[in-house]
Structures are given as C-alpha cells and as structure tokens.
Structure 1
C-alpha cells in the first residue's frame, strides 16, 4: 500500500512540476489561458484517477475552487478602482516623446550664437531643433562650447589710454598708444590653442569610431575645426578623401548624423524610460541605408520602446512582421490601427502596400548586396524559416558567409517566374523549399524536368527532413507548441474537444487543423496560416527553450542544406 501511495504521489508531483514549468512569470495570462491550465489538470485526473474519489476531492478543495474564482473574476464587471489606485496608475503611465524634425546641423557654427541659444526658450522650431542637435553633439564628444571659445581667444595688442588726474580726482585724456601682446600672453595663447586642438582631435576620433558602428554606407571620417569664434565640421570618406563641409554631403548622411546624435544621447538621458514616437524617419536615406536604420532602431529599443510610422517598404523589417501594424482611415473617418494586415481590404489596401513590398523586397536584397536566395511558397513559410535561421545564428552554427534570404513566391505557381527573375541576374539557380503535399510534389517534378534538371538537389521537399507524407513547413516546428497556439485561438468555440489533446504527432498538422475546424464548424479566415506563424514568431524566445533536440537537429540540417 505504501509503495502504491508513493507511486501516486510521485506521478502527481511530476505532473504538477511539468505544468508549473510552462508558466512564465512575466506573462499576462488571459481567461482562456487559465481555462487551459484547468483543463490540463482535469484531463490528467480523468486519464489517471477517474475512480479515485479521494484524489479528485483533494484537487477540488485545494485547486479547482481557487482556479474557478480566478476564471470567474474575468467575467465580473463590478471591480471598483479606488482613488489611490488611479493615482498609482497615473504615476506609472509612460511618457511619450514625439519627433518629426531631427535638426540637421550647419557645417559652420558661430559659438557665441550657440551658447546664447542653449539658454533661450523663444527659438523657432527649426532653430530649436538645431540647438538640440548641437547640444547633444558637444555632450556626446565631451566638449564644452564655452571651453572651446575660451581656449580660442587670441593675445591681441592692447590699446592704452593716457590721462592725468587733477586734485579733484577728475581724469583728462592726454593721449593713447598701442602695446603689443606680451610674451607670456602669446605663450598662453599657444598653449590654449594646442590644448583645444588636442580636444577637437580626440572628439573627432570618438565620433568617427562610434558613427562607423552604425552607418554602413561608407567609412566616414569626421574632423572638428575651431577658428576663433567659429566651429566647423568637415567630413571625408574612403572614396572621397578630400574634406568636405557637412552641408556639402548628402541629405541622407546629414539626417542620419543628427538623428544618431539626438537619439543615442537622449535615449540614455532625458528620454530614459520614455516611449519614442518617430514620424516618417529616414525618408531622405538611400534604401540600403534605410535597412541599416532598422538595426539602429533595434539598439534604441534596448533602452526605449520605439514606435515609428513609415510608407517605405525598406523600413518594414521582415524579421519582425509580428510587430507591424497597418494604419488606415475607418468608415467613420477615424484612424484605425490593426495588427490584422488583411483588415478592411478595400480601405487599407494602400496602407499595407509597404508590407507587401517588404515581403517581396528581399528579391532585390539578393541583387543589391549578394544575398543567397531561397524560394518558399508563402509568407508563413518565410516567417517560420526566419526563426529557424535566427536560432542557428544564435547558436553560432551558421557557417555561410552569405546572408540567406527566404523569398515567398505566392504559392507553387509563382516559383518558376521568380526563379527566372533571379536567374536573369545571376547565373546560379536558387534553392527551393517545397511542401510535400500533392501540389508541392507536382511542382518538384516539373522543376526537376525543367530548370533544375541538372541541379535537382537544390529543390528540397520538406519530407527530406521528416519522412514520407504530405508534410509542410509547419511540421518542422515543435508540434505541441504549434497545436497549443492553434487550440488557444479556437478553444471551446463549438466543441468541448481541444485540438492540442487530439492531434496526431505523426501526421501532417496543417491537414489536421483544417479537418478539426471543418468538423467543429470553425471558419478559418483567409491567411490563417500567416496569423499562426506570426503568433509563433511572437513567442519564439519562449518556444525555443522547450524544443526537443530532434526538432533543433532538423533546423540545423535544413540551414546546412541551403548554405552548402
């Protein structure tokens, strides 16, 4: 009896610990999440201890009663917020900082004017933006405009007035003469200017090194020069070694220079813990430089939450489609922001054009910067494979010197045209990853008999990594996590059954999802697979910690295959 008791206890403890490990401490759980936890316990008891009255009673008294209270709390509308709670909420509301003008700097700066503007509050918008950019420039390179001005003072000749004083103390001018600067003043001037030159050189080197880590469109060298009351910024680069004043450089470089200074300095200072709102950043940048700007945004996001608007497809990161929202005008004239990129197609068609373009822009990426293209059928495939690449990179197992770009072709029909586009620019067939369903197998056969007759190994069916069956890209993912995401979206809508408890791990999961929806009267919306992939992407950091070694091995083999 004692042995049986210990067996029950160990099994129950093991199950509880397993369920606890799935709970993320910093996640906000919804009512459906709590119901899912409750259902897991019910399923466990039903399967193992259906007739054990004492065990069921124990869980009812010590677990289910409390969980039901939590579930019921979601439905109660009578929650009252005290004045104290409201004050706490107000105190913790985030601060928003909005920018649309980043204050491009002039190449020649009059220091007395700068010092005066730093202390003024009546400047116009343009002058205020320039003053802010200058202030952070001097702060960033650890220079003081007052110090630079003071060190630049010259030892000038002195005008001496001669006069006499009568017995009443009244002074009368009798003459004047010019005295040349004294040797000690000239020596002090020389020391000061030498010190100023060292400070400016050090500041120039600091800016050049830090700027190079962010701006990838050429190696720029900055040179600060002070001449009396004037401060100048000169720029040269590896292609044009002659120095040119900052104003003579491209508008894109001027914009990024000012943007770089303002946000790199202020995000760690006055913008600390603020949410930054940027309106159309980088519109004067070259398209490739706009893509570099995304990396700079990712850095800023370590200190501040960042929200920006854009019409440019080059500023839509295909690595973070889950963070992209469409904005358009609603039926009543109101502004609508939606994470559903297919919402209200007629109205939002123009709004989401940059997203559609960004998804296809990777074709031009391969032409512009020599990436290695890999064709896939759809956007959902692209999202999953990008996460696979992300994992392999993070593990240090990515060995290719080229960036792999996954290009969705809009289904099997789009494969051949996109292959021909790429083949027209590079005499090298791209890899193709195909689902192993019937349309995929038919297309593989067609490609083997045509364009890929001599390079059949470049057409890769998903079944190569899983085994025979109508498998799709989704089947390369951890199926329990994918099933849980799908079940969460349709939990107990028309059925008491849960998909994540019913699905067969050895069968293609997409087919099972579609059959489950049909059998239970669910309507899968257009693009539901993309929504599933985006939810997977949002939770990838958590999911990857739970993946089995078998799944990770498949991922590694796939990346090795397309980079060999």
Structure 2
C-alpha cells in the first residue's frame, strides 16, 4: 500500500437513497471534519453508508430491505443499481507515481528475433493533481474511475485494480461497542463458524472487537482453542498471550496520553479476560469494570491499530461521539490526538459536545440538520435549528440571551478579554476628555485567542450580524486573517448584502512597529514596569533583545525566561495594569502617546462601521 506525504485523502462525498438520507449533497471534508447535530438527524446513517464504500471489515454492504428510504418504499423494487455513496479521493504525489507505474498503457513491439518487449507509449508528464472517483450501489461492489483515464495513458481496468488495493480503509467506531466482559473462546469460534469465516461483519461488534484483539496478538482462534485442550498446549499458549499483552499495551499507549496503562490477556481454559493495570496503582482490574470512556478509547486504539496494520496511517476514521464519556481534559487530549493522526489519516467525527468543537478551525464544522425527517448538511457554523446551534453557541461562550443581544448590535470581535478591558478603559477616558472613543453602538466580543477568532467570525457572518474583527498585527493575527480570507467569509457577507470587516491593530492605530499587540498601545516602558512589579524583578530597557520582533511582550518574555526561568503570564501583568487604570481619570493621566494611538484606533473602528 502506498503512503505519500499525508497519503490519499477523502476530499468530498455524497450519500443518496439510504434510510433518512434522500440526497446529502456533496459534503467537502478536511483532514479533520466535525459533524454537529441533534440525535436522530442521521449522523449514524451518514457514517454507515460511507463506511460501506471501502470497509476495513470485509463484507459490509447495503441491504435494500433495511436501508432503502421508507418514505420511498415503492421505489425499492428498482433499488438494484441505485447509487448510495459517491466519493472523490485526492492522490498524493507518491500515489500518482505509483498509479502511473502500475496502470500506464504500454505498447508491445516485436524485435528482429521475434521476442516481444513492452515499451511505454509516449510518456506524458505526470499530473500534479489527480482524484479517484469511487461509488457503490445497491447490489454491486465498489467501482472506481479516473476522469479521462485513457487520455492520460492509463488502462481503465488497471486503474480500478490499483484503487481497490490502495484506497484508504474506512474504520467505523461507534459508542457502547466494547464491554470488556469475559469471552468464551469456544463459543465465539462456534458463532463465527455459524455465520461463515468470510462474514465477520455479521458478528456482534463485541465479537468483532475480540477477534481484532486476537488478530493483533497474531493468535489463530482455532489453534488457540485447540491448545487449551492439553497441558502442553496451555503452557505454550501462555507465551502467546504474554506477547499479545505487550503488543496491545504498546499500541494503546501511542494514542492514550493521560497515564500509562498495561494490559494483560488472561486465559483460563476457554475463558478470555482482559485486565487493565494503571502503572501508578499497580493493581490489575478487569476491563469491563473500567469506565465507558476508557473502554471506548481501548476499542478505538485497537481497531485503528488493526485497520492500519499497526502503522496508524492511510485510514479514514469515522468516529461517532468520541469522547462523550471522557472528562474535559480527556476530550482536549483526544482533539490533540486527532491533530497528530490527521497528518496521515482523514478523521470524520460526530459530536454534540461544545468541548469537542475546535474553535481554532471553523472550516472543519458541518452542521447536520433534520428537514422534513431527512438529513441535510450545512457547511459552516450556523443553523436554523436549535439543537446544533446550542453546541456552537456553547463553544463560543454564548447563552441564547447574549446571542440575541449581540445580533442587535454592531459586534467587534477582539482576541481576548484583556483586549476588551483595555479598549473599554481607554475609550472612556478619551470620551471624557472630548476625544473620539469607541462608539456606544459597537459591542466588543472577546474570543479566547487569535487562533479562535475565525470561529467567532464565521458564526457572526452566518448569523448575518453587522460585525468585524480586530486582530493583532503579529504572526498569529496574520494567520487568523489568512484563515478568514480562505473561508471566503467576507465574500459570503458581501454576497448576502452585509459587510464583515477585518481590522489589523497596527494599521488601525497608526503605530509604526512591525508587530503590534494590544499592549503596544502603551509605551514599552509602561508594560515593562508592570512586568517588573508583577514578578518583583528589575528588567531594564537596555536588557530587551533586538530579535526581529517589535512586540514588547515577546521581548520582555525572552528576558524573563533567560534570566529568571519564568514564563510571561499576561493575567498576572494585567493585575498590575489594572492598578494603574484605577488612577487614570483624565487624558493627562495616560502614558505618553497612548491617547493619540487609541484615538486613531477608535476612529478607524467607528469608520469601519460607518459611525463617524
């Protein structure tokens, strides 16, 4: 199997004629895509239909007796051949090279002695981008094609053969699917024999998971059961299960970062138990007595290990409600695991948890709605339905009352609470001094960080608010600006007849620095002295490095780390700034130059909202 940089990727898919999905429309995917929606909207149906396109457990397919839409039951008689899933997969450069090496059409040329040799036909330059189209219908296996394959010099059948071998496997992991209870191996063997060895997908999810454990341990169930009938066999089997236990432990630890856990497969006669032992405690507990969240993670880790042959790559993970039984820190750890896995895999997951929505990446969100009892997909973070919007609003720290209030005002998203506090303080002093402050019609809405500002921007635009965002003129702020631009948010707003503004702090305030953050509204000496008081130190102006950045916070932090071994805590510094704020009542109290920069900033904001 070919693995390029990032490997082959699912770029978009569509589901039709499947349960409550008449036509999902084309759903574009990113390396990580979150499907947010209410129960019974059809998220599971969406994933199960997609899974059957190329399942890692062979045999999963569509059954028109169960899967055909009930509100088109008359059409079931013509179900055979009707498409259920269509998808496009983007190939990496390595994939393209492999495909052309395998499937290129070659000419046969006879030489003088009668021997026949294969020579490549005119070798065209390999395309830089290429996609494989895959589809599956009722009653048929998955089919593959490439647009204009013959014009590219490719054999159509060989293209299909290559795709069959190289397309990433779909791994579907649903919740409540691994109890960890003891298993009678002889009974499991009988159940498997009954459905047929080629029909593992017909077994319960619990049985399938145990077979995965045995596969990972390189244990043949027939051999294992047979060994249990003799004393010598049971002795040999002990070595097998120790090796298996060590391997399962190793693979689980690659995905579970919270603490070290050791697994032990214990077999007594035909009975198999799995024990999990926390290294810090040193006492084994049967897996079924561990939390549901932990058991979900175990199932996830082992199924993924199995599907990827232990390499953790070239898979498409379909995860239903991951992390629903994990506490908050576990959910954030899981999102970090997703980030790492997404370098070599595509991850699609459903959620109704605000904590499982990554605010830094609004382009990853797809809203799942139920319209007339049929699934519908929204690309973006806005829905007309209450359930999915409750998830998005909660992730942004909004209540329904606050959301309604914001919708009736001009909203300026700022990078954090500190920004809002400083701007409000300076605005009040300027207005009291007959200078231009922030218009009363503009409401400052703090995002958690600059990286999360695009999520807030996407929400504001989707709600058709009269809104904008103020970003620091630094690397993080420019990255946020770029993401907003790539999501075409401003164009979307303009197309709907309203405007979304992106203001950069440096330009808006007229501060002549390469990098400008909110604390740069004050002189460098002011911020430096606040840091000194906060930490009880004495950093001097001449101590500050000249390192290419003009951000006073970064320059101070460099000295703080190198000389005092401490990280800069802006909240700690803010407490000292607030003490200064308490003594500011008029323009003359402000540090030199602050009033001029702040007034220019407020003029720019008001002008952007046409409030001058």
The TM-score normalised by the length of structure 1 is 0.44
Q: Which has the higher strand share?
A: 2
Q: Give the helix-richer structure, 1 or 2.
A: 1
Query: RCO (CA 8 Å, sep 6+): is it higher in 1 or 2?
Result: 2
Structure 1 or 2, whichever has the larger Rg, is 1
TM-score if structure 2 supplies the norm length? 0.41
